[in-house]
Amino acid sequence: MRWFSSPAAVAEAPTTADGLTMDLIAGKGWTILPEAESDWRSHAAAVAQSVKLIKKRLKWGWILERSRQLSVVLERPDLWDDPVFAGKVSREHGELMGKIKSVNQFEQELMEHIDMLRLAREEDDNELETETMRALADMREEVRRRKN
């Protein structure tokens, strides 16, 4: 029986309906304009670049690998024979999973906003487009605060 969520499932890259991922957005070379500009590609590129920097600072690859290693340890049937060790492993795993979940939720939110913006434009819904652009600008501001 698995008691803890699999980091592989948590770490899957969120995508837009047409297959964009955070890495693809960061690699497209979209021009990053000042925050006041109302260009979704600029906001998306700025967010993607910031998330890329955050992942680098977090040592993302190490976090994913370490969480996988800890997941294996947590599944051992004799783990709780040593409660001090088990508690330490459990706490570290929880902290890493929290970081993974936080970054992935942020990425998922960006992908959803991009999809929503495209839908608003297809439906010629100016109100939804304005709300979505504001949400993208807010994400850009939030990710800028997080990386500093």
Report the CATH number that the domain containing residue 51 is assigned in CATH. 1.20.58.410
Assess if residue 16 is contained within a domain: no
Would residue 56 count as lying in a domain? yes
Spatial CA neighbour of 42 closest among 142, 119, 140:
140
Say if CB 135 and CB 111 are below 8 A apart. Answer: no
Any domain includes 9? no
Residue 138 domain-assigned (yes or no): yes
What pLDDT tens digit does each residue of the chain (148 aa) get?
333 444 444 557 788 988 888 888 988 888 888 887 878 888 899 999 989 999 999 999 999 999 999 999 999 999 999 999 999 999 999 999 999 999 999 899 999 999 999 999 999 999 999 999 999 989 988 888 876 6
Within a domain: residue 106?
yes
Helix locations, 18-82, DSSP H: 22-27, 40-58, 60-74
Cut 0.85: pTM above it:
no
- Domain membership flag for residue 17: no
Sign of the CA dihedral with 142 first, then 146, 147, and 148 last? positive
Whether residue 24 lies inside any domain: the answer is no
Q: What angle do CA 72, 78, 83 make, to 5 degrees?
A: 95
Residue 53 in domain: yes
Number of independent structural domains in the chain: 1
Residue 67 structural domain: 31-147
